[in-house]
């Protein structure tokens, strides 16, 4: 089979074209299109029981009693547990510690013991023979809570509700503000969002009765890390737990972090000595999975006479919900660290107060900290443009770091790395984006619509991203007995197409087509050193790791073949699916031949030399790489309803090198959809007693095909990253980062406002704007 394919591909005697850079169809697609994907809830085990979590319906209070008798009496219910059944006060540790802040007091327990702090907090767990019976039982668990006062507004947080309070920055900000020709300040609030992958979370834990070992399906994102945490909490050897790779219905930051259920389900499997399935429903998901984004900024900028920035300062209240979860305080940290963006900011101070409220705890959501900071900074700049009378775009042109100012070191440390903005051409990218918008006649479109009296506006935003966070990732590559190439990567498949991308990278090392490559991600037995997929890092770190491992396997194949063919390895090359003598194509060994020559018993192996054709490579990277981009959009506001229609959208993004341009475009388009949702529709709100008001898709509104326009894309490969050999920058988040800012900019233009003051720009907010405007006009007419 493998050889047939090889012959088919290389029948013309040519090696295949480079796979990196080509629009290879995704390896994932066939199974997903035929219904044969295997998601967490698709995994079935014989006599598997089903788990249902009982959650607090009160936002703050003291648990006075939990009565489980009625639940236990339900036919099919096998077990009901509460915190009293746990081995101790188990808390979920932080995965990413930054800024040296001790957060141990604020960690979430796996089950609430004495107090509940948000609606949705796990308080008990029911296990039953089927999911329906488990739900019946859960409804009958009687949790008695003496309610306490709820706290919901981060801005008014007293000291005992502040988990962290820190400032990042450099330069003499106060002096700059004192000396400035212009100082512009504004307040901007970002709504509370979450990622909403289409697949709710699911975990299947297979209990192996002989050994007590666990096989776990569904822990996608950072399985090696999660295994370590779980082993610690269960007090077992990590090697007794195997996390299997499964398909995942979207990640976007929230899926695959270590949540209470990631302990509870495996622990119950061991307690009951049986296999268990837990599948979350959507109502649970919306109160249980990490929330994100909610911040209130008081931001100001000092400028000189010519509109050049002298200093920037921001004071941020970050609503982290009831506990600190696995992300610790990286979202607030990234917010302040990335806030200056692609601009020349001589002095900067960003302070963030991380407040604990009685809401679902927070973590990252795609473009964490950057969506928030970019929106706020760009809105401030729009306000500046209005106040000092400079064109919005011209203001940005003046202040963007120029090509000759890069690399630019910012005296800020984020995610444990120094911030060095690598190569690039920020103004050049902005001009390209603007030129494309002009070519598409968007300015004329806006002008014509406004001439008709329609409330149409064009918005622009610039942003800086980050990606490729190290410190390392590990990959194994091997040639198999049929001459295929198998990759065991440390990345995880969340829908982003990483199997295809890694196959492309490896295929180029072996000069074969991606059809010959099999990529297995996220299996802790196959790749015990994987660091997972998050933060737009996998193409960078997993990509370079598989590239390195591939190179080593190729070198070994050449070495073995050189013994067989009796030529120097230097005279050999891989091509046409074989190892061949340069220039003598018929003196060659197929990959399968070389594999056979490395098997135990082969005469070509030296004494004590390892058998097989495999290599493990660890790729290290010290600094992140910083992609950058621009968003331009045109929106129309309906003055009667306050509704916003996004008419046109463009993203220009520098990715260094697009391994698969189609997949990069998909990342950007999908990001825009989420960004439009965050800008216009999505928001978790709470009533005064802390009851969440959005627990279904009828209340938490996500954009449909009617709200998201076709997106024009300029994928730039003008500035390959110099932090890694592939030159890739990571493309997972830039479609989202600038969207809140661009949409807000366009809406403010449509409404003839200098800037807006909050996201999402809901109809009620915009109607208020329009009423204020009408009032102003009426007052002006009366005056």
Partner 1 sequence: MKDQHLVTMRVNGREHELVIESRKTLADVLRQDLGLTGTHLGCEHGICGACTVLMDGEPIRACLVFGVQADGRELRTVESLADGDELNDLQQAFSKHHGLQCGFCTPGFLMLGEAYLSTNPEPDRDEVREVVSANLCRCTGYQGIVDAVCEVAEKRKVSRG
Question: Which of 1, 705, 781, 783 touches partner 1 by CB under 8 A?
Answer: 705
Q: Which of 167, 380, 169, 189 is nearest to 293 (CA)?
A: 189
CB-count exposure of residue 67 (10 Å: 0-12, 13-18, 19+)? middle
Q: Does 26 bind partner 1 (CB under 8 A)?
A: yes
CA distance 151 to 275: 40
Pair 263, 256: CB distance under 8 Å: no
CA distance 535 to 226: 17
Q: Does 35 bind partner 1 (CB under 8 A)?
A: yes
Q: Which is nearer to partner 1, 656 or 670 (CB)?
A: 670
Coil, strand or helix: which one is 194? coil
Question: Which of 10, 16, 19, 41 touches partner 1 by CB under 8 A?
Answer: 41
Query: Count of CB atoms within 10 A of residue 220's CB?
Result: 31
Q: Where are the beta strands (DSSP E) in 367-521?
A: 408-414, 417-421, 455-464, 472-479, 485-489, 517-521
Pair 358, 117: CB distance under 8 Å: yes
Q: Which stretch binds partner 1 (CB under 8 A): 191-199, 319-327, 382-390, 765-773?
A: 191-199
Site residue total, partner 1 (CB under 8 A) = 60
CA distance 441 to 435: 10
Q: Does 669 bind partner 1 (CB under 8 A)?
A: yes
Q: Does 198 bind partner 1 (CB under 8 A)?
A: yes
CA distance 203 to 213: 16
Question: Which of 6, 10, 16, 28 touches partner 1 by CB under 8 A?
Answer: 28
400: which strand partners?
343
Question: Which of 3, 22, 32, 240 touches partner 1 by CB under 8 A?
Answer: 32
Q: Which of 344, 332, 312, 84 is nearest to 184 (CA)?
A: 312
Q: Which stretch binds partner 1 (CB under 8 A): 618-626, 664-672, 685-693, 762-770?
A: 664-672
Question: Which of 474, 524, 674, 745 touches partner 1 by CB under 8 A?
Answer: 674
Q: Does 647 bind partner 1 (CB under 8 A)?
A: no
Q: Does 422 bind partner 1 (CB under 8 A)?
A: no
Pair 690, 698: CB distance under 8 Å: no
- Mutual orientation of helices 538-565 and 498-510 as an angle, nearest 10°? 30
Question: Which of 46, 104, 706, 782 touches partner 1 by CB under 8 A?
Answer: 706
Q: Which residues contact 465 (CB under 8 A, 6 or more apart)?
A: 367, 370, 536, 626, 627, 628, 629, 730, 733, 734, 737
Q: Does 666 bind partner 1 (CB under 8 A)?
A: yes
Question: Which of 491, 732, 735, 740 touches partner 1 by CB under 8 A?
Answer: 735
* 468 to 507: interface string for partner 1, x by CB under 8 A: --------------------------xxxx----------
Question: Which of 49, 68, 119, 199 touches partner 1 by CB under 8 A?
Answer: 199
Q: Which is nearer to partner 1, 479 or 664 (CB)?
A: 664
CA distance 257 to 4: 42
Q: Which stretch binds partner 1 (CB under 8 A): 264-272, 389-397, 569-577, 672-680?
A: 672-680
Q: Which is nearer to partner 1, 133 or 390 (CB)?
A: 133
* Nearest-approach distance from CB 428 to partner 1, in angstroms: 26
Q: Which is nearer to partner 1, 267 or 684 (CB)?
A: 684
Q: Does 730 bind partner 1 (CB under 8 A)?
A: no
Provide the edge-to-edge strand list for the sheet that holds 241-244: 77-82, 122-128, 49-55, 276-279, 202-207, 214-217, 241-244
Instruction: Give phi and psi for 387, each to the nearest 5.
Output: -75, -35
Q: Does 569 bind partner 1 (CB under 8 A)?
A: no
Q: Which residues contact 662 (CB under 8 A, 6 or more apart)?
A: 23
Q: Does 51 bind partner 1 (CB under 8 A)?
A: no
Q: Which stretch binds partner 1 (CB under 8 A): 14-22, 682-690, 695-703, 725-733?
A: 695-703
Q: Does 47 bind partner 1 (CB under 8 A)?
A: no
Q: Which residues contact 375 (CB under 8 A, 6 or more apart)?
A: 188, 190, 461, 740, 741, 744, 759
Q: Which stretch binds partner 1 (CB under 8 A): 77-85, 101-109, 451-459, 666-674?
A: 666-674
Pair 426, 342: CB distance under 8 Å: yes
Q: Which is nearer to partner 1, 202 or 301 (CB)?
A: 202
Q: Which of 517, 641, 509, 527 is nearest to 575 (CA)?
A: 509
Structural element, H or E, at residue 154: none
Q: Does 250 bind partner 1 (CB under 8 A)?
A: yes
Please report, as residue ranges, which positions from 263 to 282 form the binding site for partner 1 (by CB under 8 A): 279, 281-282
Question: Which of 158, 452, 710, 783 touches partner 1 by CB under 8 A?
Answer: 710
Q: Does 37 bind partner 1 (CB under 8 A)?
A: yes
Q: Which stretch binds partner 1 (CB under 8 A): 293-301, 407-415, 416-424, 671-679?
A: 671-679
Q: Which is nearer to partner 1, 699 or 752 (CB)?
A: 699
Question: Which of 11, 12, 13, 34 touches partner 1 by CB under 8 A?
Answer: 34
Contacts with partner 1 by CB under 8 A lie at: 25-26, 28-39, 41-42, 131-132, 195-200, 247-252, 279, 281-283, 494-497, 662-663, 665-666, 669-674, 696-698, 702, 704-708, 710-711, 735
């Amino acid at each position: 089979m493998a050889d047939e394919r090889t012959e088919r591909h290389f029948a013309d005697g040519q090696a295949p074209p480079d796979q990196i850079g080509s629009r290879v169809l995704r390896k994932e697609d066939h199974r997903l299109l035929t219904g044969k994907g295997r998601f967490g809830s698709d995994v079935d085990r014989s006599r598997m029981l089903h788990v249902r979590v009982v959650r607090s319906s009160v936002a703050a209070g003291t648990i006075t009693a939990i009565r489980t008798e009625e639940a236990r009496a339900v036919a099919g219910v096998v077990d009901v547990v509460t915190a009293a059944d746990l081995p101790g006060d188990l808390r979920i540790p932080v995965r990413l510690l930054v800024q040296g802040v001790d957060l141990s007091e604020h960690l979430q327990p796996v089950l609430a013991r004495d107090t509940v702090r948000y609606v949705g907090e796990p308080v008990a767990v029911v296990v039953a023979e089927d999911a329906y019976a488990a739900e019946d039982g859960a409804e009958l668990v009687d949790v008695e809570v003496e309610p306490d006062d709820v706290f919901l507004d981060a801005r008014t947080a007293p000291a005992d509700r502040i988990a962290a309070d820190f400032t990042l920055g450099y330069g003499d900000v106060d002096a700059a503000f004192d000396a400035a020709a212009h100082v512009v300040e504004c307040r901007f609030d970002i709504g509370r969002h979450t990622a909403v992958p289409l697949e709710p979370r699911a975990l299947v834990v297979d209990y192996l009765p002989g050994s007590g070992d666990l096989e776990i399906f569904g822990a996608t994102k950072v399985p090696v890390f999660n295994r370590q945490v779980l082993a610690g909490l269960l007090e077992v050897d990590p090697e007794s737990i195997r996390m299997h790779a499964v398909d995942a219905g979207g990640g976007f930051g929230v899926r695959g972090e270590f949540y209470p259920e990631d302990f509870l389900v495996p622990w119950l499997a061991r307690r009951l000595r049986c296999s268990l399935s837990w599948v979350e429903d959507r109502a649970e998901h919306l109160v249980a999975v990490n929330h994100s984004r909610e911040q209130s900024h008081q931001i100001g900028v000092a400028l000189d006479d010519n509109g050049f920035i002298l200093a920037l300062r921001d004071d941020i209240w970050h609503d982290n919900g009831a506990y600190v979860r696995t992300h610790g305080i990286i979202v607030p940290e990234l917010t302040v660290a990335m806030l200056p963006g692609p601009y020349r900011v001589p002095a900067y101070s960003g302070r963030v107060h991380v407040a604990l409220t009685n809401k679902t705890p927070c973590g990252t959501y795609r473009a964490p900290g950057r969506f928030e900071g970019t929106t706020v900074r760009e809105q401030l700049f729009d306000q500046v443009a209005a106040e000092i009378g400079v064109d919005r775009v011209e203001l940005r042109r003046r202040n963007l770091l120029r090509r000759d100012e890069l690399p630019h070191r910012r005296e800020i440390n984020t995610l444990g790395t120094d911030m060095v903005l690598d190569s690039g051409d920020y103004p050049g990218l902005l001009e390209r984006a603007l030129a494309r918008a002009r070519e598409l006649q968007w300015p004329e479109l806006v002008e014509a619509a406004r001439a008709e009296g329609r409330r149409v506006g064009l918005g622009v935003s610039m942003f800086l991203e980050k990606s490729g966070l190290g410190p390392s990732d590990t990959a194994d590559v091997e040639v198999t007995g049929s001459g295929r190439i198998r990759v065991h990567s440390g990345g995880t498949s969340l829908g982003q197409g990483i199997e295809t991308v890694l196959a492309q990278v490896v295929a180029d090392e072996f000069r074969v087509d991606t059809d010959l490559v099999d990529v297995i991600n996220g299996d802790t037995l196959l790749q015990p050193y994987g660091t997972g997929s998050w933060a737009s890092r996998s193409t960078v770190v997993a990509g370079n790791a598989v590239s390195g491992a591939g190179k080593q396997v190729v070198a070994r194949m050449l070495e073995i073949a050189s013994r067989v063919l009796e030529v120097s390895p230097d005279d050999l090359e891989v091509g046409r699916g074989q190892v061949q003598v340069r220039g003598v194509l018929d003196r060659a060994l197929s990959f399968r031949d070389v594999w056979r020559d490395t098997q135990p018993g082969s005469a070509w192996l030296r004494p004590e030399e390892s058998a097989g054709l495999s290599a493990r490579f660890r790729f290290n990277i010290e600094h992140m790489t910083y992609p950058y981009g621009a968003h331009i959009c045109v929106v129309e506001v309906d003055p009667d309803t306050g509704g916003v229609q996004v008419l046109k959208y463009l993203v220009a993004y520098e990715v260094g090198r697009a391994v698969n341009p189609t997949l990069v475009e998909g990342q950007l388009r999908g990001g825009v959809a989420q960004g439009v949702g965050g800008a216009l529709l999505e928001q978790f709100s709470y009533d005064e007693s802390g009851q969440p008001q959005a627990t279904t898709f009828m209340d938490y509104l996500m954009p449909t095909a009617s709200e998201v326009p076709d997106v024009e894309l300029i994928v730039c490969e003008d500035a390959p990253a110099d932090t890694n050999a592939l030159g890739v920058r990571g493309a997972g988040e830039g479609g989202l980062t600038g969207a809140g800012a661009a949409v807000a900019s366009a809406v403010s233009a449509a409404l003839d406002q200098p800037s807006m003051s909050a996201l999402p720009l809901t109809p009620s907010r915009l109607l208020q704007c329009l009423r204020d405007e009408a009032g102003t006009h009426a007052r002006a007419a009366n005056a």
